[in-house]
Structure 1
C-alpha cells in the first residue's frame, strides 16, 4: 500500500474537527501522517488538533484560502500520496483502503470518493442530500466510465504527490482548487478517477446564509475554470468539454423548463393545474429512479429519500440564481475588465472572509 499524508486545512473548525480526526484515526489502512493547518483560527482549532496527536502547522497569518493552507503543508509531505480532507468531513473507515488502488494505474494523478451529507436536519441539508445522492450515483459514474470526471471533490481527494508538487501544488488562481486541478491534469493527458465505494460525509449548509456563500463560491469557481480551460479542453479533452457545455446549457435553459407549465396554460387549452401536474410527474420520473437506486446502494430508507425531493427545489433556486450571477460576472464582466470576479474565499461558517489573492 502506498504511503499517505493527510492534509486538513482548518480555519475556526473546533466544532467539526474532532469528528474528522477521529475518522482518520479509525482508518483500516492508517495514514503515515496527519497534518492540520491551523490557518489563523481565532478559536481552539489548534488546541483541538494537538489533542488528537496529529501534526499541527500554524502559518504566521491567515493565508486567505484553502489552497494556500494546503500548499503551506505540502513541503512537509514526503509520501506517495497526499489526501486533502476538509475539517468538517468524515471519512468511512475504509476510505484510504479503497482510494489507494486507483493509483495502481500510473496515469491516475487524482482520485476522489463518494460524498454524502452528514446531516439532514434542515430543508437545505435535505435538499443537498438529494443532490448528492443523484450526482454521486448517476452523474459521476457516467463521467468516470467516459474517463472524464468533472471534478474530484476537494473535501476528500487523493493526489499523487510528485505530480502535485511538479504542477505547482494546489491551484491558487481560482476560487475552487479541486476543479482547477482536475481539469488541468486531464488537459495534460493524465487521469482523474471517481471511486464510488470510498465514502465520505460532508457537513453541508444548514442555513440559507451559509448555502448562499458556498454556492456562490462554487458557481463563480466553475465559471472561472470555464474561462481558463474550455478552449484547451475542446481540443484535448472533448468529452469533458461536452459535460461542461451541457452544464452551461442546463443553466441557461433551466428558467424555460421551470416556466413550462405556465406557458402551456397560457398558450393551450390546458389548465394551470393540469400543466403543473404534468410538470411534476415529469420531474418525478426523471428524478426518482436514480434516487431509488442510490438509496439501495447507501442502505437508506427509500421512502425517506423520496420524501426529501421537495426540499431540493429551494436549493435549486439558490443554485440557479448564483449560476446566472457567475455567468454574468465571470464570463462577461471579467473579460470586459468591469469586474475582478470573486477573489474572496469565504466558507460560510468562518467568522471572517479571507482574500484569495
Structure 2
C-alpha cells in the first residue's frame, strides 16, 4: 500500500481505472478484440492470396503472349497451309428470333460472300416479321425455314437438317460477315482432323463507352485466349457469332444440345470428346452488335457464365479421358475454371485488400503494385490489338475499364455462381438489338457500309 505523498496511485483512482465491464460495454470490448483478431488473421491470409493470384494472373499473361505470338507466326508463314484448299460450297445457318432490325444487314453481307454458299434462315417463331423481311429481299441462294418457337439450339439443329453441304457455318442473326469471311473460315477443313473452326468475332458498335470496353475485352480477353487454346489443343468455345463445323461431326455428337444455356461451349467440348480438332481462324472476321446498356450486358454475361458452368459440369468426365478429350479435361478445363470462374469470384476481395493496403499500410507501394499489374495488362492488350490490326486509341479507356467494367463482370460471375450452387434455373433471354452494325468492306471496319434494316439495300458510303 502506497503511503500518502509517495507519488503512488490512490486506491479510488485504481478502482476507477480498472473497473469490471458489464452489459453493452462488455460486448463492445469483446467485439473489438474479435475484430482485431480477425484482422490479424485475415490480413496475412489476404496478402498471401493476393500474391498467389497475382503470380497466377501474370503467369497467364506471359503464357498468352508467348503462345499467341507462336500461333500468329505459325499461321501467317508464307508457306503455311492446312491442306488442299477448300473451294466447295458451304451452308450458312442463320437462326433468327425477332431480328427485324438486323436480318437485312446480315443477309446482305452474306450475299456479298466471295465463297460459294447457300443461306438457310431458320425463323424460330418470330412475331415481328423477320421471316417476311428475309424473303422480301429476293437474294439468291436464301431459303427461309419456319418453326415453332423452340430456342436457338433447336433452330440450329433444324438448319443442319436442311443444309445441303458437308460444311456448315453458324452465325447469329445480328452479325455481319466480310466478303472473304466464309472463305477464310473454312480453309482449316483442308485438314481432315479438324471438326470445327472458331472465327474472329469483333464488336461493331464500339463508339459508346460500354461498347469500347467490350471491344477491348473481345480483342484481348477472347481472341488472345483463343490463340493460346488453339496452340494447346483445347479450345473451350466456338463463338455463336461465327463458327464452322463439319456436318458429320455435329451429327456424331448429337447436334446442338439443349442441356445448357451455352450451346456453343457445349458443342465445342463435345467435339473434343469425340476426337475432333478445334482451331481458330484469326482472319475470318465477323462484326456483331454488343449489348448497348448495362442491363442488357448483365443479362448476356449472366447467361454466358451460367451456361459455361453447366457445360463444364456436364463434361467433367473428360478429366479422365484419353486423347483430345483428355487434353481438354486436364488442360483446357482447369484453365477455364481457374481464370474464368475461381479467380474472378475472389478478385473483389483482392481489390478490397488493395484499397485497405493503400489506406492503412503503404499507399505508395500499393499504388505502384496496382499500376504495375495495369501496365502488364496494357502491354498484353496492345500486343493483342497489334495482332488484330486494331487502333490503339481504345486502350486509353482501359484504366477505367479495370475500375468499373471489371467490377461489373465480377458481380455477374458471382451471381451466376450463386445460381449454380443453389440449383436455380435460368431461361434464355433475348437481347434488344438496334441493327446499327452494317456490312463492312474488307478492312473498312463495321461502319464501311450504310444499311437500311427493313428490306433496304446496303450500299458503301
- TM-score computed with the length of structure 1 as normaliser: 0.88
Question: How far off its partner does 1:39 sit?
Answer: 1.4
**Cα separation, 1, equivalents of 2:264 and 2:133:** 26
Please say which structure displays the higher CA radius of gyration: 2
- Give the length in aligned residue pairs: 337
From the superposition, tell whether residues 197 and 312 of structure 1 become closer, same or farther in structure 2 (CA, over 3 Å): farther
Contact 1:114 1:197 in 2 (8 A): yes
Deviations 1:305-333 (A, max 9, x none): 33355245433223211211222222x22
Moved more, 296-305 or 122-131: 296-305
1:155 deviation in Å?
Answer: 1.2
Q: Is the 8 A contact 1:130 1:312 kept in 2?
A: no
- Please report how far the alpha carbon of residue 78 of structure 1 lies from its aligned counterpart in structure 2 after TM superposition: 2.6
Alignment of 1:94 onto 2:198: no
Structure 1 CA distance, aligned partners of 2:399 and 2:182? Answer: 32
CA RMSD of superposed structures (Å):
2.0
Relative to structure 1, is the Cα distance of residues 205 and 283 closer, same or farther in structure 2, using a 3 angstrom cutoff?
farther
Q: What secondary structure, in the 3-state scheme, does the structure 2 residue paired with 1:148 have?
A: coil
Give the TM-score normalised by structure 2. Answer: 0.69
- Write the deviation string for residues 266-325 of structure 1: whole angstroms up to 9, x where unpaired: 552x13xx3663254134212211222233334333133333552454332232112112
SS of the equivalent of 2:126 reads coil
The structure-2 alpha-carbon separation of the partners of 1:107 and 1:288, relative to structure 1 and needing over 3 Å to count, comes to: same
C-alpha distance in 2 between matches for 1:241 and 1:276: 33
Cα displacement (A) at 1:30: 2.6
2:332 equivalent to 1:240:
yes
Distance 1:313 1:37 in 2: 41
Deviation at 1:345, TM superposition (A): 0.9
Query: Which of 377, 391, 400 in structure 2 is aligned with 1:301?
Result: 391
The aligned runs of 1:182-221 (5 Å cut-off) are 182-221=268-307
- In structure 2, the CA distance between the partners of 1:20 and 1:283, relative to structure 1 (3 Å rule), is farther
Gaps of 5+ in 1: 351-357
**Does 1:103 find its partner at 2:189?**
yes
Cα deviations across residues 69-99 of structure 1 (Å, max 9, x unaligned)?
Answer: 1112221113111111101111122111111
* Aligned counterparts, 1:111-190, within 5 A: 111-190=197-276
- My pick for the range that moved more, 152-161 or 275-284, is 275-284
Query: What runs of 5+ residues in structure 2 fail to find an aligned partner?
Result: 1-86, 434-461
1-structure distance, mates of 2:401, 2:89: 41
Task: Give the 5 Å matches for 1:1-357.
Answer: 1-31=87-117, 33-52=118-137, 53=139, 54-59=142-147, 61-63=148-150, 65-233=151-319, 235=321, 236-237=326-327, 238-247=330-339, 248-268=341-361, 270-271=362-363, 274=364, 277-311=367-401, 313-330=403-420, 332-334=421-423, 339=424, 341-342=425-426, 344-349=427-432
How far apart in 2 are the matches of 1:133 and 1:187? 28
